[in-house]
Structure 1
Amino acid sequence: MVDVTASTTRATDISPQEFLELSPKPLLIDVRSELEYSFGHAAGAVNLSLPRIMMGQVSFLRRWVLPEWFRELPRERAIALICLTAHRSPMAATQLVAQGYHTVYNVTGGMREWWKLSLPTHSPS
């Protein structure tokens, strides 16, 4: 596991296998676009794209760009972030740490690694 920010509270890089071993399981947020997410995602993941997370930093936009479930998410709730290649998820992790979330994980390798390892996914029928 590797820290991905330089602040006191840090996001932590974890492999897909390490994510599956965590207990209790963090909320898994897929930060890819809704279109990418719709083609297949990690089982149990919810979608909230990186641009929406970034725009949600602007207080007057928050209500329109962030879903209610995310706005009401306790800062103590552990969150894991995944994207396609682990390029966007570290950016989202840094933003969530800056917003005060206490336990933030970045899933290394992204969905490409998840698929390579044949881990559980949800795909359209």
Structure 2
Amino acid sequence: MGCRIRKFFSWLLLIGVIIFGVLLGSGLLNSPSAAAAIRQLEEAPRQMVYQSQQTLKDQYGNMKLKSTQKSAINPVPLTPVQLKSRQNQLLVIDVRSGLEYWMGHIPGAKRLSRSAILKEIPKDQAIAITCLSGHRSAITAHWLVSQGYHQVYNLQGGTIAWQQAGYPLQRGSQP
């Protein structure tokens, strides 16, 4: 069962990346309605996971799931303007797939997985997390706080908001 779910989400991600590439290439990402549609596409898998967790919770009693536990400290939300003004003070980490990162990322942003962040980044480092629309970065930012990171920021609206604010994206695999 778990393998089928992973395959489903892999296909869903691939379809999303293809759609993102088409929209980015055509310039349609600058429209507010396109940004809202992309946020809905990104939100769908998260909602499915949440509903699955609730079903498990209902079936097996009041079990505690790590991903739904709240932390007393929350990541600090940042607007693109705030991130731009503090970019030299923060390590910007992009949590998207390699293809998404290659197609366009915030200049200077590193692409790191959760496990790489834990291995490479000290817990007192000021970190700004970003993704396409802000949903995946918010999940990662909350997770980092739960792992003991104290200076975690989340770019609201992700690279879509960054681009809509008039800031450039860098293409390729280099930060």
TM-score (norm 2): 0.54
Which structure: greater strand fraction?
1
Question: Which residue is equivalent to 1:22?
Answer: 86
- RMSD (Å), alpha carbons: 2.0
Change (3 A) 1:119 1:91: same
**Percent identity at matched positions?**
38
Write the deviation string for residues 5-58 of structure 1: whole angstroms up to 9, x where unpaired: 95232201110111112275210000110110001100100002xxx42xx3xx
Gaps of 5+ in 1: 57-65
Q: Distance in 2 between matches of 1:106 and 1:93?
A: 6
Gaps of 5+ in 2: 1-68
Which structure: greater helix fraction?
2
Q: Distance in 2 between matches of 1:19 and 1:110?
A: 11
Write the deviation string for residues 93-113 of structure 1: whole angstroms up to 9, x where unpaired: 011001111100000011111
TM-score (norm 1): 0.75
User: What SS class does the counterpart of residue 22 from structure 1 fall into?
Assistant: helix
Q: Provide the aligned length of Structure 1 versus Structure 2.
A: 104
Relative CO higher for 1 or 2, CA cutoff 8 Å, sep ≥ 6? 1
Runs of 4+ in 1 over 3 A off after TM superposition: none
Question: Which residue is equivalent to 1:61?
Answer: none
- In our comparison, the structure showing a higher alpha carbon Rg is 2
